[in-house]
Chain A
């Protein structure tokens, strides 16, 4: 048996990735279909000197990881739709106060308590705009266990690099299914550690004064520096202000630090795009159905290609525009009412050639479902 070879659920692959990245504090409130993440970490974290807290609810869980991150820990929480709704207020606080943290949402059917044990991809826009006010956010996803592992490590790296919450948007199929994972050796994937201030004790430390490269060195809260943290617009000391210049500067900084780095943050995979007349765009478990179909139809001479998105937000408009330039038809395969379809229409020159292939009944969309929809779009009948 190969070393580090596992046969595990996607939720466990996420746990392995998080521990690899250095997670040492988790607070959560278990909810289907994300429960295995909390369950595994309640065993693994104490074994390695980390902390696992089961909180009274999702709001408290989100607040707990924010506090722990401020004191220097790498933190995560995990939930599903209803819990993700509850986390939105504190998520906005983490965005405003620039706290590195990772929030996993293993999507199930919604709205409300919805369809707990079944798959959906209905939280794509909630992950973008669920919390109020103008802001930017990083949302990542994956469709197989090696990718779930790698993208979880990336989530921690991006959270530290950009001092921001990062959302991992998985789905029930990926979270629950078991498949092969070889855990990379230590050092195989580079890790980004907390950027700490070099300002000495008793010297004025400015927690919210960006360096020239836009990054803000942190000081462990409760350590050698005293500073203020608030959800109000704040100055470089962290104290509340309504000075228009400062308010403007902070909001621009929060949005620009992510949106100006789309090229760094965008992750995607592409299959058979060279001569593709029809390009499928998908992500998460529906990308597996799409890839199955693309391989099957390629073998029969159909010019089908696939772009699998791993970064959903900030949306890679430029990449989509360029890759889809020569395609006659673009079919977005997703299990919602067209949340990414909308963005693809904004990205391409001719939105009229963008179509949605979806399924919203709690079942994983099948290659056959997609094939029939494509044939209808092409005017060939089922």
Chain B
């Protein structure tokens, strides 16, 4: 696989850093790929624009930060405004309908999905929003298999919450698949 450089951005508390770690961990532990994950520390972790970088590759990754992402995820307007100019031409920009107006012209495939609304409607727990985003991401990019994400979740969260997370992941996958066809 070619190198994929991803920036997860949003606000503190949305779980974007957790999502980034889960994705990278799934790639390394269950798909035998290389990955590096890093994040902005400091005030960002307590509200404000929050960011985590992930690089996934089948060979050694030297420089660990993302300068020009192929995939950019923006879960707040502030994050969209800050990071959308960074995206590599032709890249994928994934955002959520509730939080982001994709009013800028970006030389990228901008996909805006009702992920938050669907999670709230179906599962009614905002805590799995980030897992739904991961579902949409992996169905759009085929970076890792859904089973690999679930394998990671099994080691990270209590048994009784697995089902809810699996549902959120499936919701995201479905949404991603739908727009993949269109």
Contact = CB atoms under 8 A, between A and B. Distances in A.
Interface residues on A, range: 20 to 34
A291 B65 contact: no
Interface in B91-129: none
A54 interface: no
B35 A176 contact: no
Contacts of B34: 179-180
A292 B62 contact: yes
A7 B42 contact: no
B41 A33 contact: yes
A234 to B, nearest CB: 45
A176 B42 CA distance: 12
Contacts of A179: 28, 34-37, 61, 64
Contacts of A367: 63
Nearest to A181: B28
Instruction: State the majority secondary structure of interface residues on B.
Output: mixed
A7 B41 contact: no
A126 to B, nearest CB: 22
A120 interface: no
A255 interface: no
A1 B40 CA distance: 29
Contact of B38 (A2, A176, A295): A176
Interface in A142-180: 172-173, 176-180
A176 B29 contact: no
B62 A295 contact: yes
B39 A176 contact: yes
A104 B32 CA distance: 31
Interface of A: 1-2, 5, 7, 32-33, 116-118, 172-173, 176-180, 285, 288-289, 291-292, 295, 364, 366-368
Please provide the 8 A-B residue pairs with the shortest distance between their CB atoms, ordered closest to farther.
A117-B41, A292-B62, A292-B63, A117-B42, A177-B38, A178-B37, A7-B25, A7-B28
Interface of B: 21, 24-25, 28-30, 32, 34-42, 61-65, 67, 151
